[in-house]
Amino acid sequence: MRFTFETASQTHTGKVRRINEDSLFADPKRGLWLVADGMGGHRDGGIASNMITEAARSLSTYGETRAQLAAQLTQVNQNLLGLSNGDHSNIVGSTIVALLAEGSNYTCIWAGDSRCYLVRAGQIRQVSRDHTEVQELVTSGIITPEEARTWPRRNVITRAVGAADKLELEQVSDTLAEGDCFVLCSDGLTGHVTDAEILSAVTWSAPEPACGQLLDLALERGGKDNISIIVVNVSNPNKTHIVQMARN
C-alpha cells in the first residue's frame, strides 16, 4: 500500500536559552523525519544535533534506510567522541528520535528523551520510551508518573549520540494505517504540554496550525528550553478510488 504524508515542523529557541541547539529534518518523499536535541548545558550541543541532521540528509533516496541511518548515527557518535577528546565532563552530544516510513510500515529509532507519539482512532500513544533516570524509576515502580513530572533529576538522560563509546539505539516497528498522525518533539515541548493537549491539537487541526498551537502553548508556559515539533499526517490517496471500485 502506498501512503502519502502531510508534514509540518517548527523549532524555536524558547524564552530562556540564548541559542537553539535543536535541529530538525523532514523529507516526506523519502519517508524520513527526525528531531535532534543538542544536550543542554554542554558545549556545542548545536554542532551535535546539526551533525545528525546532516547525516540524515546524506542518506540514499531509496534502499535500506533503517540500516543506513543506524550506520550514519554510529559514525556521528564516533565523530562527537573525538570532539570531546575523552573528557566526560565536556560531552558534545544530542538526543535523537527518527521516524521512517517504508511501504506500509513505519519504524521509530531513538536515543534519549526526544519523543515520538502516534495518534490513531482518537487515542494518543507514546511510541518511544524515554532514556532517562526518572523513566527507569517509573518503570521499576519507585515513583509514579505524576511524581516524575517534578522529579529533581527528571532531565538526566541515560542515552544520547556522543555520550558513550558504543551508541545504543532503540527501535520499534509496526504497520501504518490510514489517518495515522505522528508527532516528533524535543523535551522542550513535553516539559510544558501534556499528551492530551498534543492529541487535541493534531485531532482538530492540520499539521501546520497544530505545530503553531503546540509551540504557542509551550511558550506561554515559560519556554524554558528549545522547542521542536514535527507533525506527520498519513493518508492513502487511492482510498476513495478503492472504495468506488468495490461498489461497482
| Residues 6 or more apart whose Cβ sits within 8 Å of residue 240 | none
Rounded distance, CA 167 to CA 178, Å? 34
Query: What is the structure's pLDDT at 42?
Result: 55
The CATH homologous superfamily of the domain defined by 4-247: PPM-type phosphatase domain (3.60.40.10)
User: DSSP of 81-114, one letter per residue?
Assistant: HHHHTT-TTS---EEEEEEEEETTEEEEEEESS-
Q: Is 153 exposed, middle or buried (0-12, 13-18, 19+ CB in 10 A)?
A: exposed
| Residues 6 or more apart whose Cβ sits within 8 Å of residue 156 | 132, 133, 134
**pLDDT tens track of the chain, all 248 residues?**
689 999 999 999 999 999 999 999 999 988 999 999 998 555 578 999 999 999 999 886 545 688 889 999 999 999 998 887 765 556 789 999 999 998 899 999 999 999 999 999 999 999 999 998 888 888 888 888 878 877 778 778 899 999 899 999 999 999 999 999 999 999 999 999 999 999 999 999 999 999 999 999 999 999 999 999 999 999 987 764 433 333 33
Query: What is the structure's pLDDT at 63?
Result: 54
Q: Return the domain boundaries, the chain.
A: 4-247
Rounded distance, CA 248 to CA 232, Å? 33
Query: What is the structure's pLDDT at 240?
Result: 44
Rounded distance, CA 70 to CA 169, Å? 8
Q: Is the pTM of this model over 0.85?
A: yes
The count of other CB atoms within 10 Å of the CB of residue 236 is 17
| Residues 6 or more apart whose Cβ sits within 8 Å of residue 75 | 55
Cell numbers describing residue 107: 519504524
Query: What is the structure's pLDDT at 241?
Result: 40
Rounded distance, CA 161 to CA 72, Å? 11
Rounded distance, CA 84 to CA 74, Å? 16
Rounded distance, CA 215 to CA 229, Å? 8
| Of 123, 100, 107, the residue nearest 5 (C-alpha) | 100
Query: What is the structure's pLDDT at 248?
Result: 30
